[in-house]
Structure 1
Amino acid sequence: MKWSATPFVRIVLALIVGILLYAYFDLSSPFWTVLCVLFSVSYVFVLYFTTPVQKRKWNFAFGLLALLATTLFGISITHQKKEIHWEQHFSNLCDSISYYEAIVSEEPQEKTNHFKIELTVKKVFCQNIWKEAKGNILLYIKKSEAKTASLKSLQYGDRLLIVGSPQATSPPPNPQQFDFQRYLANQQIYHQQFIEADKFRILGHAPPNRIVELAIQLRQKASLALQNAIHEQEEYAVVSALVLGIKDHLDNAIRSTYSHTGAMHVLAVSGLHVGILFQILTWLLAWIKKSKKYGNWIFLSIVLLCLWFYALLTGLSPSVLRAVIMFSLVALANTIQRNSSIYNTIAISAFLILCYDPYLLFSVSFQLSYTALLAIIYFQPKIFHCWHIEDSFPHMNKWLFQTIKFFWSITCVSLAAQLGTFPIGLFYFHQFPVYFLFSNLVVIPLATVIFSGSLLTLLFSWVPFLAVGIGFLVEKVVWLQNEALFFMEHLPYAVIEGIHISLGETLLIYTTILLLAMLFAFQKISYLYYAVACTVLFFISQMQEFFEQKNQAIFYIFHSGKVLNMNFLEGNQNIMLADSSLIYDDYQVRNLFYNYWSYKGVSPEKVKYFNISSLENGFPIPFYREKELVLFSYHQKKILWLLEKTEIDLPSADFLLISKNAVRDVEKLDFSKFKTIILDASNSYYNSKKLSSQAKKLGMSLYIIREQGAFIKELANDN
């Protein structure tokens, strides 16, 4: 890659720097926007009022000025996109809202117990007047048998009147848990509301964007057509995710299997799927390009029409839009026969997307898409040419040669993509799929067949018997793919879990990969020295974490709703004492605890589970139990757990944990017996508030997990 041939790479990097500066330093002052305008005007002035000789002489300075202007532009657009700063945002208009009017801005999602709906606010009623307002809300409507029909009829563009005042979203109650508040904030959603089914009314239908409405309707019809042709629910769920990006029907078992085998990317509609479609179109329409007059432009028009129609079919999801924009630019460059750098094309697509929404930079799918794509473009050809198949098998027949070449190409793509994305995977998901090479050798060919067959099913959906016939074949291919992945998932050491790396360590890995790439590209030994230095720094950081974790001893209680839990973490082992409903709920355990265990160096196999209702002498921590209470001794600390209301005189302890409303009057507690009193989330909201108020009057404090989040106490150095 020649640096001079890729100006947009420099520009998009400067834009990213601006977005990151705003995000991490909250540069929300209008000063930066003014400065951006000044730098931009200065650059335009220099561009048009200097001679060519002066431009060559001050080329570096002019380029630096352009990059600084772009960085300031990144700061400015990120600030402008942050809706909560807008004067008309409903949260800035009044403290309490009686009711409000809003438009359904995304397709409603039906969950087990509720409907989840994204809304765009139009008006709020507060201080006895209606006010024009802006902003987004995530609304949860509890299911009701009486209102089932009206709830199911909700659709994009419906205008609703809703009673009540939205509440600000809350940060995760437990450390290292998925930060749903930040995830929503990156989508400009800062408030949510939970209502009963009788607290809203449909006023009309006024879709804010007719194209989005058309896209959602197309996806719904396509989903129904696939459902009519593919009758097995599990296979249909995979197809709807793979082709349309609808993941609502995927169960946790399927998600886990695809994740553990490194095949999750086929269920996330993105560049892979658009690339398959692009290759199919290129192959089918190659004859058009041979036409002497306007052949290339006709080919381009048909390809762009098909790509953008597919984007509509997937509901204009951001990941598909990214890929469609990029492939559209590639097709356009090929048509005008401009030998532009592929890196420049990728940078242009990233620049356009980030200008539209700079917060997409923080999307995991955005990061994975671009790192995978860049790695495939750079590393795949180099890996592929490491093995010359024709030299190894000079007398091989043509069919076998092409087969080996095909699978070797897939292997190279998988290796290159994994090289580009594994640091992000470790950072966010704390796991590494060991058999990713083998799974991709299976899923990429099969996913191509499934994708093509599903498109044919949709194409012939107006001919029922033909659509059902193709759908039946697609269903069997999906079954084969699922079974292959189930088999790989249950192989020994299929996935390494519990890996934790910090942001700094992630950047060190990427720096090492970049330096090694530069070593092979420029043949300079200095890059090797720098790569080794980065590797040494990474291992020093890991060793420091290892020794800190080796000596840790932590007593902690997580917010797990009404379900009881207490944990003792020693070194790299964890003892969980909890209700059976939590112990046997693998999804909840993963959601609540896995990230924290990874952070503390505890792998899942090092966790021992004990049921609080059947605690026996085999429990590794000394304890005494008398019906409603349990007294533990851990690192010279006494921990008393009160499970139910009791008349027993409570013994002294360092920590008193109250569960299930076991105490209803805090004045009956002898505070002198306890250093810390904790109320877990199994206590009702009303009782927690009542006890907190009573304690304040007495000049005492309670740790309320429902309000303050997880209780964590380091005990290794607290004796």
Structure 2
Amino acid sequence: IFALITGMSPSIMRAVTMFSFIAIGMNVNRKTSIFHSLALSAFLLLLINPKLLFHVGFQLSYTAVIAIVLIQPILYNLIQPRWKVIDYFWKIGTVTIAAQIGVAPLSLFYFHQFPGLFLLGNMLLLPVLPLIIGLSILLLASLWSGIPSYWLVEILNLSLDWIVTIIEKISSQDQFIIKGIHLDLIELIFIYIFMISSALFFYRSVRKSRRERVLIKEPGYNLHIAIISIICFIGFQSFKKLKTVDSKVVVMHQASGSVISISNREEVLLLVDFHAMDSIMSMAALDRIKSSSLHRNKIITIDSLSNKVKFNDTEVVVLDESGVILKSAETPILLLSHSPKIHLDKIITALRPQIIIADGSNYRTYVNRWRLTSEKRNIEFLSTYEEGAINLCHLEVHKQN
């Protein structure tokens, strides 16, 4: 019922299905493993909807819970406060740190940033949440029984306003957000192998005894796997830095805009046309383009996109909504931008392009029509909608991320 009321998001579905398996095990008087419950809940959800596996919320939810189960006992048993109040906040702190450790690699992979004030936010908010849940249940009961409950509504409103204010103040502290960290998929896999292997190695080493906090163990296969994974991670990063990078002229995919990236090992020239966007959208689009794997750790220069771009042996004629066509002595690459209202067959006859590219600023209906015309004239046609970023130097297509 709770899942239905809250919209059945992946994190909620994970929680309710896992709790259901635990509750079933308790009612049949059988001890259940949290790992078995997690695996069964994931299997059931993926059986219903396999696409959940690629949902960011699904991945973050399960990695957070697995990290709490594996890492939180290690952190908590290192220090055991005698005062109950301190012990209560220590538990909240270790749960928060463990969950953040678990989701940090995924956050860097998808969002390229890490919140520095996560511990402060959770320490302020988590103690209040049980109170809000209890008051909400009490409010529902009072409404059902007909007892006046205006005072409960006022308390809940004040509590929720306080939470929103705290979240806004914490999230507005941009100086505490670590940005610009990028991980490749291979690096992400190595990090999680290292984390899981290290956690499994230390999981049985930390004791609750006050005399002996940590039990020294002989190195096992978990420790060996952790060391090998971190070596592979460092080796992969070194390989990325040492590999040669050729100059590239790349048409990027950007909705409502056109971008051509000219880059070498150290520098990038971005030729952009964002005239159809407002200032907020153009800044967001530019930040996304800058964070692309093609432009990381490089000096970036930005200029406007003209109707003709030439770099070494590559020449691009840009045809936008103005319909202005620049003649070319060579056989150009034709880039269609911002849905120009043209007769493409006549343009092909006039320019004789070797390849036609439509970027993300065009309407899809126009792109489909241009594709049919190009096929009739035996001209290669590429669209960034399907291909992603397109390297014009070698006429190769690679994924833009």
TM-score (norm 1): 0.45
- The aligned residue for residue 188 of structure 2 is 506
* 1:379 and 2:45 are equivalent in the alignment: no
* 1:515 and 2:197 are equivalent in the alignment: yes
| AA in 1 matched with 2:323 | K
Contact 1:639–1:653 (8 Å) recurs in 2: no
* 1:658 and 2:353 are equivalent in the alignment: no
- The aligned residue for residue 538 of structure 1 is 233
- The aligned residue for residue 399 of structure 2 is none
* 1:425 and 2:118 are equivalent in the alignment: no
Q: Distance in 2 between matches of 1:413 and 1:600?
A: 37
Contact 2:193–2:225 (8 Å) recurs in 1: no
Aligned residue runs from structure 1 range 240-389, under 5 A: 309-314=1-6, 319-331=11-23, 333-334=25-26, 338-354=30-46, 360-389=52-81
Measured at CA, do residues 530 and 680 of structure 1 come closer, stay the same or move farther in structure 2, by a change above 3 Å?
Answer: closer
- The aligned residue for residue 308 of structure 2 is 631
The Cα offsets for residues 476-513 of structure 1, whole Å up to 9 and x where unpaired, read as 33333233233333335433344443443322222212
Contact 1:576–1:610 (8 Å) recurs in 2: yes
Q: Distance in 2 between matches of 1:470 and 1:611?
A: 58
The Cα offsets for residues 201-256 of structure 1, whole Å up to 9 and x where unpaired, read as xxxxxxxxxxxxxxxxxxxxxxxxxxxxxxxxxxxxxxxxxxxxxxxxxxxxxxxx
Contact 1:655–1:674 (8 Å) recurs in 2: yes
Q: Distance in 2 between matches of 1:685 and 1:316?
A: 32
Q: Structure 2 unaligned segments of length 5 or more: list them.
A: 206-216, 397-401
- The aligned residue for residue 640 of structure 1 is 317
Contact 1:552–1:569 (8 Å) recurs in 2: yes
Measured at CA, do residues 533 and 664 of structure 1 come closer, stay the same or move farther in structure 2, by a change above 3 Å?
Answer: same
Q: Distance in 2 between matches of 1:608 and 1:679?
A: 24
Please state whether the residue corresponding to 2:324 is helix, strand or coil: coil
- The aligned residue for residue 248 of structure 2 is 553
- The aligned residue for residue 602 of structure 1 is 296
Deviation at 1:405?
Answer: 2.4
Contact 1:555–1:712 (8 Å) recurs in 2: yes
| AA in 2 matched with 1:666 | D
Deviation at 1:514?
Answer: 2.3
Q: Distance in 1 between matches of 2:8 and 2:378?
A: 57
| AA in 2 matched with 1:490 | S
Please state whether the residue corresponding to 2:307 is helix, strand or coil: strand
Q: Distance in 1 between matches of 2:40 and 2:365?
A: 55
Q: Distance in 2 between matches of 1:338 and 1:607?
A: 61
Contact 2:309–2:316 (8 Å) recurs in 1: yes
The Cα offsets for residues 664-699 of structure 1, whole Å up to 9 and x where unpaired, read as 253355666644333445555666556555544444
Contact 2:60–2:106 (8 Å) recurs in 1: yes
| AA in 2 matched with 1:477 | S
- The aligned residue for residue 136 of structure 1 is none
- The aligned residue for residue 490 of structure 1 is 172
Q: Distance in 1 between matches of 2:17 and 2:361?
A: 50
Contact 1:576–1:607 (8 Å) recurs in 2: no
- The aligned residue for residue 357 of structure 2 is 678
Contact 1:384–1:409 (8 Å) recurs in 2: yes
Aligned-residue identity in percent:
25
Deviation at 1:438?
Answer: 1.9
Q: Distance in 1 between matches of 2:129 and 2:176?
A: 21
- The aligned residue for residue 245 of structure 1 is none
Q: How many residues align?
A: 379
Deviation at 1:636?
Answer: 5.3
Contact 2:314–2:392 (8 Å) recurs in 1: no
- The aligned residue for residue 475 of structure 1 is 157
Please state whether the residue corresponding to 1:404 is helix, strand or coil: helix
Aligned residue runs from structure 1 range 125-136, under 5 A: none
Q: Distance in 2 between matches of 1:426 and 1:650?
A: 45
Contact 1:554–1:569 (8 Å) recurs in 2: yes
Please state whether the residue corresponding to 1:460 is helix, strand or coil: helix
The Cα offsets for residues 340-363 of structure 1, whole Å up to 9 and x where unpaired, read as 444344444445545555554444
| AA in 1 matched with 2:80 | H
* 1:568 and 2:250 are equivalent in the alignment: no
Q: Distance in 1 between matches of 2:22 and 2:3?
A: 16
| AA in 1 matched with 2:193 | T
Deviation at 1:410?
Answer: 1.1
Deviation at 1:329?
Answer: 4.0
| AA in 2 matched with 1:404 | I
| AA in 1 matched with 2:124 | V
Deviation at 1:538?
Answer: 0.9
Contact 1:635–1:716 (8 Å) recurs in 2: no
Q: Distance in 2 between matches of 1:345 and 1:695?
A: 55
Q: Distance in 1 between matches of 2:330 and 2:279?
A: 33
Deviation at 1:606?
Answer: 7.1
TM-score (norm 2): 0.75
Deviation at 1:582?
Answer: 3.4
The Cα offsets for residues 142-172 of structure 1, whole Å up to 9 and x where unpaired, read as xxxxxxxxxxxxxxxxxxxxxxxxxxxxxxx
Measured at CA, do residues 443 and 550 of structure 1 come closer, stay the same or move farther in structure 2, by a change above 3 Å?
Answer: farther
Please state whether the residue corresponding to 1:389 is helix, strand or coil: coil
Deviation at 1:376?
Answer: 1.4
Contact 1:642–1:662 (8 Å) recurs in 2: no
- Provide the aligned C-alpha RMSD in A: 4.1
Q: Distance in 2 between matches of 1:495 and 1:543?
A: 26
Measured at CA, do residues 314 and 705 of structure 1 come closer, stay the same or move farther in structure 2, by a change above 3 Å?
Answer: closer
The Cα offsets for residues 612-633 of structure 1, whole Å up to 9 and x where unpaired, read as 6xxxxxxxxxxxxxxxx63334
Aligned residue runs from structure 1 range 187-198, under 5 A: none
Larger Rg: 1
Deviation at 1:414?
Answer: 0.9
| AA in 1 matched with 2:62 | Y
Q: Distance in 1 between matches of 2:288 and 2:106?
A: 17
